[in-house]
A and B are shown apart, each in its own frame.
Chain A
Amino acid sequence: MAISNPGDAGATGGPRARADTVAAPRDSGTAEAREPMGTLPERLWPYALLGIALGIVFTRAEVVSWFRIQEMFRFQSFHMYGIIGSAIAVGAAGVALIKRLEARSLTRRPIELPTERFQPPGYQYWIGGTAFGLGWGLLGACPGPIYVLFGNGVTVMAVAFLSAVAGVWTYGAIRHRLPHS
């Protein structure tokens, strides 16, 4: 169904694949193809460094700990609320500054700021959010911590990872039957 749907070419099919092939010789496999003119190459190593830094912060601040998540959902400490709250405050200040200054990205790509700020929230946010929360409460880890815990030696998180991938696949398979808006 998807493959034969010409209206969806942007998300699937032909034109993109062709552009990939054309651009392939001049990049090194990091998929720089089809970017708007005038952009600089986006490197991957900054993201590796970012991940390492966050892995250390997540561990040191104990946000990867099932115990801390339990403490949060039992309202027995300010720790997690302080982390999430101050992260949002700093993030919001940064986003506001980017908007105010109309900042451009270092690699001159457009900044993907969400524009539909007051889009009415449909079922997907209520139901999906609650499903996620149930998993978060049981597993005690959201997606980032699943990776970080694996690095910390809780190798059984590989099973949680595969289960999460299975959950995503299931969503992808049945999403047309789920209420969204």
Chain B
Amino acid sequence: MELLTRPWPWYVAGPIIGLTVPLVYLYAGRKWGISSTFRDVCAATLPSGIEYFQYSWRRLGAWRLVMALGLIVGGLVAGLTRTTDVAISTSTRDDLAALGITDFSGLVPAELFSWTSLGTLPGLILIVGGGFLVGFGTRYANGCTSGHAISGLSSLRLVSLVAVLGFFAGGLIATHVLLPLILGGAG
């Protein structure tokens, strides 16, 4: 049992995640990706004259919306049986402590990602600003970490490589430039 509740190493998790790509292809030929669920939600709930959202989201998106619901349930199951703190390196811990983060007990820092933090400027920028950019960027680049990094690079696509380089460029800027500004401003 302990094997199931403690954190899994990369060489167990990575191959399982990678297997998803051929499995989803082999079931019904679909290209695995998650971010398109946001577009499906737009198409399903926001009536508008926008061409981009006029497609049959049931036919093209039902499978991934169901998968997304499964992700929530899987997270719930795993969360109930999680026993340890996230095992990040001490250098990361030190860096984040220097930015003012003190609570390392959750999957995310509670002082930045909670309903109360939403009322603070750093929390608002990280949750709402970060979420908006994730949604906007994923559609502009036509894919996210699953669609481009895993599915796309599995098919050796050049455009996916460029998108993934962009993901990292953006992530490095956010981590090393924006985050110190955002969290320092709160201090």
Contacts and interface: CB of A to CB of B under 8 A. Distances in A.
Interface bin, chain B: 35 or more
B135 A74 contact: no
A163 B131 contact: yes
B128 A151 contact: no
Interface in B141-187: 141-142, 144-146, 148-159, 161-176, 178-179, 182
Contacts of A134: 130, 133, 137, 170-171, 173-174, 178
B162 A125 contact: yes
Contact of B171 (A82, A133, A175): A133
Given A57-B17, A67-B109, A167-B133, A128 B142 contact: yes
A56 to B, nearest CB: 4
Interface string B21-51: 1111111111100110111011000101111
B74 A56 contact: yes
A90 B19 contact: yes
B100 interface: no
A121 B137 contact: no
Given A55-B77, A98-B22, A133-B137, A60 B13 contact: yes
A138 interface: yes
Nearest to A64: B107
A22 interface: no
Contact of B27 (A46, A80, A133, A163): A46
B135 A59 contact: no
B7 A62 contact: yes
Nearest to B133: A135
Given A52-B77, A128-B138, A151-B76, A95 B25 contact: yes
A83 B127 contact: no
Contacts of A91: 18-22, 150-151, 153-154
B23 A50 contact: yes
Interface string A73-112: 1101111111111111111101101100001011101111
A17 B183 CA distance: 50
A167 to B, nearest CB: 3
A61 B10 contact: yes
Interface of A: 1-3, 5, 8, 11-13, 16, 20, 30-31, 33-34, 42, 44-74, 76-92, 94-95, 97-98, 103, 105-107, 109-114, 116-121, 124-144, 146-157, 159-173, 175, 178
Return the 9 tightest CB-CB contacts between A and B, nearest first.
Answer: A55-B74, A51-B70, A129-B166, A133-B170, A137-B174, A151-B75, A94-B22, A167-B135, A132-B137
19 contacts: A31-B62, A54-B74, A55-B70, A56-B75, A68-B88, A70-B95, A77-B89, A86-B14, A94-B19, A128-B138, A128-B163, A131-B166, A137-B130, A138-B129, A142-B138, A147-B72, A151-B77, A152-B76, A165-B135
